[in-house]
Structure 1
Amino acid sequence: MEYFLNSFGDITIGNVAILLCAVIFLFGCYKKVEKYFSEKAIKEKEYDERIKKVISQAENYPKWHEQSLCIQKKFGNSIDNLDRKMDKLQKSNDEGMALTWRYRILRFDDEVRHDDKHTKEHFDQILEDITKYERFCKDNPDFENNKASLAIDNIKKAYKKCTDEGTFL
């Protein structure tokens, strides 16, 4: 004990308190540094996992790109088919309207040939139908037009006659 007292005999309570505070301070610093490095390690691990996930997705890119191209090709083909169907439907609709105009022109011509009287508005309407019908026939040379050309001439003559004589209904 004498050796102990020689070595540590002049230590006071103040020195012990300072030593104790230093130990507590160092322990606190150790805990802070441990916490910092622990959180840093966790963040680095999460970052590494995200990087691995991105790399994994990058490795799948060629496969996904190929799938995307296939889907785009299918959509492109579907859109082309829809375009063709729409064009066909539009042509059918346009031809149906032309047939309607022609029917009305022929019917009106029959009425004129049977000396039925018509109002100016009725003539104006049929002349509008004639304009649309002739425009359609001009734009669609494959459409048969020879069925209404004489009727159109007769209607225009009757209109001119009614205009000149003032004999509209």
Structure 2
Amino acid sequence: MSIQEILASSGGALVILITLVQIAPIKVNPWSAIGKMIGKALNGDVIAKLNEVQGRLDEHIRIDDERNADAHRVQILRFNRELLQDNIPHTQEDFIEALSEIDFYERYCKEHPEYENNRAVLAIQNIERVYSEMLERHNFGNA
């Protein structure tokens, strides 16, 4: 079959037209569209499985993030308990570390309103109050 016969047939003309449209500086890309359709047809099962895995991964990440926030809350509550016992001296660095835990925990709670929080509100207030008092008196422990 010669080039003239190919060009004369409707199939050849369609191929040339699609190629020209693909090359032309317009946003219609028929080869890309055809390739995507074929790709979706061939990979439909893989795409569905990937979507399922992505959903499970998102759930694991959410659970891990919540556990991390829980761990920060535990540190806040532990530090507050030490302050209430009043027999453990704390340095300014101890307070800075506790305030860092508070910052992380409060930021996470604000960014994730679905996360059950408000479990450390009074502990946070107490830590901040004691820190302010110690700053005013310059009375940090020597430990």
TM-score for the superposition, normalised by structure 1: 0.57
**1:37-71 residue CA offsets vs partner (Å, 9 max, x unmatched):** xxxxxxxxxxxxxxxxxxxxxxxxxxxxx985444
Question: What displacement does 1:142 show?
Answer: 2.1
Measure, in 2, the Cα distance between the counterparts of 1:67 and 1:142. Answer: 41
Counterpart position of 2:49: 78
Residue 155 of structure 1: which of 122, 127, 130 is its match? 127
Residue 98 (1) aligns with residue 73 (2)? no
Higher helix proportion (structure 1 or 2) = 1
SS in 1 for 2:55: helix
Measure, in 2, the Cα distance between the counterparts of 1:150 and 1:132. Answer: 17
How many pairs align? 105
SS in 2 for 1:153: helix
Counterpart position of 1:118: 90
Measure, in 2, the Cα distance between the counterparts of 1:162 and 1:83. Answer: 49
Measure, in 2, the Cα distance between the counterparts of 1:96 and 1:168. Answer: 32
SS in 1 for 2:119: coil
Residue 131 of structure 1: which of 103, 106, 111 is its match? 103
RMSD: 1.9
**1:49-104 residue CA offsets vs partner (Å, 9 max, x unmatched):** xxxxxxxxxxxxxxxxx985444111211221121111101100110011101111
SS in 1 for 2:81: helix
**1:121-144 residue CA offsets vs partner (Å, 9 max, x unmatched):** 111111111011001111112222
* Structure number with larger C-alpha Rg: 1
Percent of aligned pairs sharing the same letter:
33
TM-score for the superposition, normalised by structure 2: 0.67
SS in 2 for 1:144: coil
Flag structure 2 segments of 5+ consecutive residues without an equivalent. Answer: 1-36
Flag structure 1 segments of 5+ consecutive residues without an equivalent. Answer: 1-65
Residue 142 of structure 1: which of 114, 119, 125 is its match? 114
Counterpart position of 1:47: none
